[in-house]
């Protein structure tokens, strides 16, 4: 094959980019073996890695309540939910592999601190009400994002989201059901519900990321349809849907000044502390002692002998077959 001239390469790159963008604009999916611009690949890798951490690290905070659920039915529901999160982690690892991001690298980058995960996952889950609030608000916020990602431009990612959304809807429902039971329960249970709502409402708003005017990758991300709606649009959707849910529970809204804006046909938030929100979203790897990361490292190290044994056994089996054939 003849060497290409630099000009020709530049032209080809330009043409490829134009073709790629046309495909995206036409709503077609990008599949694993297709050419893609390096920044698209990078943004995709970042998003997938973050989602994988959210699912797999996200198993930890809730698993600390499995042993203490108030009923057996709640125990099986919570266990099944956490199991789903692990399953979502696996689907997304599968998606990442199609984009040449091996699982070992994702784990190694987590452990080395190279890739941060949302510090929201390091918040402590103090009460049973928190389990309800997390399912309802945190998973509820995540669903707002994930529903739109069913139409994201990377094919395997979009398809995994369809399945993930089905299960996430169940997660949100179980969280809300916990809140209903508490809100209709004794005075103490009601207090527990209000306390959890007050503590988890604001962090749920962080899930959507920085305000649009501060989110540096938003424009590119939307151009490539790796994100379908802006951070603020999705956050507003969540704020709007949560108001009647709080009313139904008969609890007080944590935002004392939230009010309906007839002109915008949306709720105006009163008390969002944007500086605090931004600092928390930005802080990522440095906000905290990172107990979930420490736990993940510890468990990974403790399990190394099992993984080594599995590998050694497989090697022995291969060798035995070869010996038998010889």
Partner 1 sequence: MAPQVAKKDLSTHTLRYAVRLGDDALILGQRLSEWVSCAPFLEEDIALANVALDYIGRARMYYQYAASLSPHHKSEDDFAFLRGERDFENYLINELPRGDFADTIVRQLIVDIYNFHYLSALRHSKDQALAAIADKSHKETRYHLRRSRLWTVRLGDGTEESHQRMQRAIDEIWGYTHELFTQDSLEQLLVEKNIAVDTASLRTQWFTDISATFQEATLTLPDTEWAIHGGRKGYHTEYLGRLLSEMQFLHRSYPGCQW
Which stretches of the chain bind partner 1, using CB under 8 A? 56, 59-60, 63, 66-76, 79-80, 82-83, 86-87, 89-90, 93, 128, 178, 181-182, 184-186, 188-189, 295, 299, 302-310, 312-313, 316
- Shortest Cβ distance from residue 45 to partner 1 (Å)? 19
- Shortest Cβ distance from residue 260 to partner 1 (Å)? 33
Name the residue nearer to partner 1 (CB basis): 19 or 76: 76
Name the residue nearer to partner 1 (CB basis): 84 or 139: 84
DSSP 8-class letter at 120: G
Q: At what angle do helices 103-112 and 72-98 cross, to 10 degrees?
A: 110
- Shortest Cβ distance from residue 319 to partner 1 (Å)? 12
- Shortest Cβ distance from residue 157 to partner 1 (Å)? 19
Contact assessment for residue 220 and residue 39, using Cβ atoms and an 8 Å cutoff: yes
Sign of CA dihedral 261, 267, 272, 275: negative
Name the residue nearer to partner 1 (CB basis): 53 or 238: 53
The CA–CA distances, whole Å, from 220 to 4, 15, 17, 39, 216 equal 30, 19, 13, 9, 9
- Shortest Cβ distance from residue 181 to partner 1 (Å)? 5
Instruction: Count CB atoms within 10 A of the CB of residue 114.
Output: 11
Name the residue nearer to partner 1 (CB basis): 85 or 139: 85
Name the residue nearer to partner 1 (CB basis): 225 or 290: 290
- Shortest Cβ distance from residue 133 to partner 1 (Å)? 15
The encoded tokens of residue 65 equal: 């309540």
The encoded tokens of residue 270 equal: 């009163």
The encoded tokens of residue 136 equal: 């309802």
Within 8 A by CB and 6+ apart from 224, the residues are 24, 40, 43, 153
- Shortest Cβ distance from residue 49 to partner 1 (Å)? 15
Q: What are phi and psi of 102, to 5 degrees?
A: -70, 155
Contact assessment for residue 155 and residue 225, using Cβ atoms and an 8 Å cutoff: no
Name the residue nearer to partner 1 (CB basis): 119 or 239: 119
Name the residue nearer to partner 1 (CB basis): 266 or 298: 298
CA neighbor of 131 nearest in space, from 79, 182, 64, 62 = 62
């Amino acid at each position: 094959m003849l060497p290409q001239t630099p000009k020709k390469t530049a032209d080809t790159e330009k043409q490829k980019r134009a073709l790629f963008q046309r495909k995206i604009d036409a709503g077609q999916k990008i599949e694993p073996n297709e050419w893609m611009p390096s920044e698209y690949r990078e943004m995709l890798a970042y998003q997938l890695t973050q989602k994988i951490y959210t699912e797999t690290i996200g198993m930890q905070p809730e698993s600390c309540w499995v042993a203490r659920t108030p009923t057996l039915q709640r125990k099986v529901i919570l266990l099944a939910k956490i199991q789903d999160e692990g399953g979502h982690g696996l689907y997304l690892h599968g998606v990442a592999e199609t984009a040449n991001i091996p699982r070992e690298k994702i784990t190694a980058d987590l452990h080395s601190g190279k890739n941060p995960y949302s510090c929201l996952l390091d918040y402590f889950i103090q009460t049973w009400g928190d389990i309800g609030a997390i399912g309802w608000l945190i998973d509820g916020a995540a669903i707002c994002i994930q529903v739109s990602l069913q139409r994201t431009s990377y094919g395997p990612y979009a398809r995994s989201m369809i399945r993930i959304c089905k299960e996430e809807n169940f997660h949100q429902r179980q969280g809300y059901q916990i809140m209903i039971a508490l809100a209709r329960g004794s005075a103490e249970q009601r207090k527990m519900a209000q306390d959890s709502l007050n503590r988890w409402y604001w962090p749920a708003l962080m899930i959507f990321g920085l305000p649009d005017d501060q989110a540096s990758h938003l424009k590119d991300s939307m151009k490539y349809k790796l994100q379908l709606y802006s951070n603020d649009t999705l956050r507003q959707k969540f704020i709007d849907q949560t108001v009647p849910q709080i009313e139904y529970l008969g609890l007080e809204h944590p935002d004392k000044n939230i009010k309906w804006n007839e002109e915008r046909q949306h709720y105006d938030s009163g008390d969002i502390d944007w500086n605090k929100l931004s600092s928390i979203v930005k802080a990522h790897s440095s906000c905290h002692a990172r107990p979930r990361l420490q736990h993940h490292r510890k468990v990974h190290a403790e399990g190394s002998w099992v993984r080594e044994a599995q590998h050694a056994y497989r090697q022995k089996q291969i060798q035995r077959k070869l010996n038998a054939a010889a």
